[in-house]
């Protein structure tokens, strides 16, 4: 199944979309967007990419899921190995942290497919390489998107 993200200018802003936009503008640290297939989650992601000022990063657990939202895989973006993650071995501070320090909003799509050790690794990676070491996810606003009744973690 291929999903095409509509042009941001042609999207109708529903009350549900507006709630998400308001939460982002308030800088709520964590936002969870859930909905069944076909409810507009991918469309919302496309809209946010185009309309949120600052660096919006979209990641997903698989290559196919990442392509559908014009993002990248979690493992490639955060330089994680494709196995169970051991923080003391796998999470290292980088020499060049610019890419990670400038993230305005991190969107993690298909969250139901993401194992808990991967979410923990993202948190630890961003604490080591993001703007604020003492804050969860390095102080970066995170939006989790998915349908928890759809797919189990991979």
- 117 lies in a domain? yes
Q: Dump pLDDT digits (tens) for 106-139.
A: 999 999 999 999 999 999 999 999 999 999 999 9
Q: Per the domain annotation, does 1 fall within a domain?
A: no
- Asked which of 21-25, 37-41, 71-75 is least confident by mean pLDDT, the reply is 37-41
Q: Does residue 130 lie in a domain region?
A: yes
Host domain of residue 71: 14-80+87-146
Whether the full predicted model's pTM is greater than 0.85, yes or no, is yes
pLDDT of residue 141: 98
CATH number at residue 111: 3.40.50.300
- Look at residue 12 and tell me whether its pLDDT is greater than 60: yes
The answer to whether residue 154 sits within a structural domain is: no
User: Is 6 domain-assigned?
Assistant: no
Instruction: Give the whole-number percent of the chain exceeding pLDDT 90.
Output: 86
- How many structural domains is the chain composed of? 1
Residue 3 in any domain: the answer is no
Residue 152 lies in a domain: no
Evaluate the CA torsion angle 75, 80, 84, 85 in order and state its sign: negative
Is residue 26 situated within a structural domain?
yes
């Amino acid at each position: 199944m291929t999903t095409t993200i509509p042009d941001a200018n042609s999207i109708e802003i529903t009350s549900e979309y507006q709630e998400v936009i308001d939460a982002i503008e308030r800088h709520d640290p964590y936002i969870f967007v859930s909905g069944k297939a076909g409810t507009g989650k991918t469309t919302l992601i496309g809209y946010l990419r185009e309309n949120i000022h600052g660096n919006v990063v979209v990641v997903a657990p698989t290559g196919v899921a990442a392509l559908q939202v014009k993002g990248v895989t979690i493992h490639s973006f955060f330089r994680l190995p494709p196995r169970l993650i051991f923080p003391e071995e796998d999470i290292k501070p980088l020499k060049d942290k610019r890419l990670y320090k400038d993230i305005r909003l991190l969107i993690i799509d298909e969250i139901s497919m993401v194992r808990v050790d991967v979410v923990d690794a993202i948190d630890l990676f961003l604490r080591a390489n993001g703007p604020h070491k003492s804050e969860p996810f390095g102080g970066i606003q995170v939006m989790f998107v998915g349908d928890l009744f759809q797919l189990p973690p991979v």
